[in-house]
Amino acid sequence: MIDLFEKLKKNRGPLGEHAKDAHGYFTFPKLEGEISNKMIFRGKEKLVWSLNNYLGLANHPEVRKADAEAAAQFGMALPMGARMMSGNSNQHEQLEQELAAFLGKEDSILVNFGYQGMVSAIDALVDRHDVIVYDAEAHACIIDGLRLHMGKRFVYPHNDMTSLEKQLERATKLVNETGGAILVITEGVFGMSGDQGKLREIVAMKNKFHFRLFVDDAHGFGTMGKTGAGTGEEQNVQDGIDIYFGTFAKSMASIGGFIASDAQVVEYLRYNMRSQIFAKALPMPLVIGALKRLELLRSQPELKNKLWEITNALQNGLRKEGFEIGNTQSCVTPVFLNGTIPEATNLIFDLRENYDIFCSMVVYPVVPKGIIMLRLIPTATHTIEDVNYTIESFKKIKINLAAGKYDVNKIVSI
């Protein structure tokens, strides 16, 4: 027997073991000031490429005004209780209807956090007779939803349609025995690599197999498609997405999310999704703030146009300079370099301290050993000067990396 606290002190977890060296700098950094392309880190202004504030709505004057007025009028407490018991409001229902109409779905249901909403929706939608088939690079919220699933789950390698077909064959055989159903889960835009889920191919498989498709479009909502209705619109298969998930935490620059589908499915979720039945409703200012953000998202296409102008300049510029940016088909911009983890930390330190550029770094085990991935999120608040400066700086750090400048065989002290 071991004391639980003793055990936790000994094994701090795969991320926690780096806390001593990384806390406050590489992990849990504090970005201060107005949310924009430039923010303050450790007292000094940095050019920031780490925020999912895609459309620049975080500090849009109309958004700030709507948030402040709603907080002044309603406070943060209303509504009290879960939606089902005492926490419903006209504004919550209006937001659900407007989201559904925007996405071309019959209805939608709000969730308090995107992550929790996905977990709970997966839990509610399937039972032990059903089979889930999912992409291997699915976000943690999908993986955690799968952990609650009592039936079988079949995984296919990322975007591998041949394997998906095989898994659907297996799943079909199984549900023919159990009398269950099949749910396929993928993402619209994969948040790390930026490539899109192959929604068109998946939807086409409905001609051969019977399944329903659930798409997590956290990074696609507001950024993809002609109107910003997401990756389904982008690939012209919005109707083939049976259940659509979007978050308010990215292009909407807020918190919360929603799931849109057929009216009966949404009603089923309203009465069966445990994370919403047994939790207090989203506070009124978040709902009214989301209504304002949705209005701007729909009525100001120039925000998305600007986002894509910056995205295209950044991605084309990086490619032109010989950077490896993988297969991105969205605003998410990975930059792949070769190096060790100590080199990655020294490189990020150099970027932050000497070039005043703040971006996220991803290393093993998220990417293969020996790969350093810098992840850039362009937004409508960035400028072409920001893009040019960043590419020039990246050229220099790439030369430094190749020359072994970051290879001091130890993690920098911060």
Ligand X SMILES: Cc1ncc(COP(=O)(O)O)c(C=O)c1O
257, 285, 334, 339: which one binds ligand X (CB under 6 A): 257
107, 187, 195, 343: which one binds ligand X (CB under 6 A): 187
Cβ contacts of residue 159 below 8 Å, gap of 6+?
A: 135, 195, 197, 198
Report DSSP letters for 230-270, one per residue: -HHHHTT-GGG-SEEEEESSSTT-SS-EEEEE-HHHHHHHH
- Cβ proximity to ligand X, 122 vs 401, nearer residue: 122
- Cβ proximity to ligand X, 216 vs 386, nearer residue: 216
Q: Which stretch binds ligand X (CB under 6 A): 73-81, 211-219, 299-307, 367-375?
A: 211-219
Q: Which residue sits closest to ligand X, CB atoms considered? A: 114
54, 102, 115, 134: which one binds ligand X (CB under 6 A): 115
- Cβ proximity to ligand X, 124 vs 401, nearer residue: 124
- Cβ proximity to ligand X, 222 vs 257, nearer residue: 257
Number of residues engaging ligand X in binding (CB under 6 A): 14
Q: Which stretch binds ligand X (CB under 6 A): 62-70, 108-116, 159-167, 328-336?
A: 108-116
Residue 82: CB atoms within 10 A of its CB come to 16
Q: Which residues inside 217-246 make contact with ligand X, applying CB under 6 A?
A: 218-219
- Cβ proximity to ligand X, 234 vs 386, nearer residue: 234
Q: Which residues inside 367-396 make contact with ligand X, applying CB under 6 A?
A: none
- At 289, give phi and psi (nearest 5°): -65, -40
- At 358, give phi and psi (nearest 5°): -110, 110
DSSP H helices, 126-160, are: 140-148
- We find the least distance from the C-beta atom of residue 268 to ligand X, in angstroms, to be 21
Q: Which stretch binds ligand X (CB under 6 A): 114-122, 202-210, 289-297, 366-374?
A: 114-122
- Cβ proximity to ligand X, 251 vs 346, nearer residue: 251
Q: Does 122 bind ligand X (CB under 6 A)?
A: no
Q: Does 118 bind ligand X (CB under 6 A)?
A: yes
- We find the least distance from the C-beta atom of residue 119 to ligand X, in angstroms, to be 10
Report DSSP letters for 3-34, one per residue: -HHHHHHH---TTGGGHHHHBTTTBS--EESS
Q: Does 139 bind ligand X (CB under 6 A)?
A: yes
Q: Are 54 and 377 in contact (CB under 8 A)?
A: yes
- Cβ proximity to ligand X, 19 vs 255, nearer residue: 255
Report the distance separating Cα 140 and Cα 138, nearest Å. Answer: 7
Cβ contacts of residue 347 below 8 Å, gap of 6+?
A: 337, 339, 361, 372, 397, 400, 401, 406
Q: Does 216 bind ligand X (CB under 6 A)?
A: yes
- We find the least distance from the C-beta atom of residue 57 to ligand X, in angstroms, to be 15
Report the distance separating Cα 149 and Cα 287, nearest Å. Answer: 30
- Cβ proximity to ligand X, 139 vs 375, nearer residue: 139
Strands (E) located in 254-364: 257-261, 333-338, 357-358, 360-362
Report the distance separating Cα 136 and Cα 365, nearest Å. Answer: 14
Which residue bears the tokens 């810098």? Answer: 374
- Cβ proximity to ligand X, 175 vs 373, nearer residue: 373
Q: Does 141 bind ligand X (CB under 6 A)?
A: yes
Using CB under 6 A, list all residues that contact ligand X.
Answer: 113-115, 118, 139, 141, 187, 191, 216, 218-219, 247, 249, 257
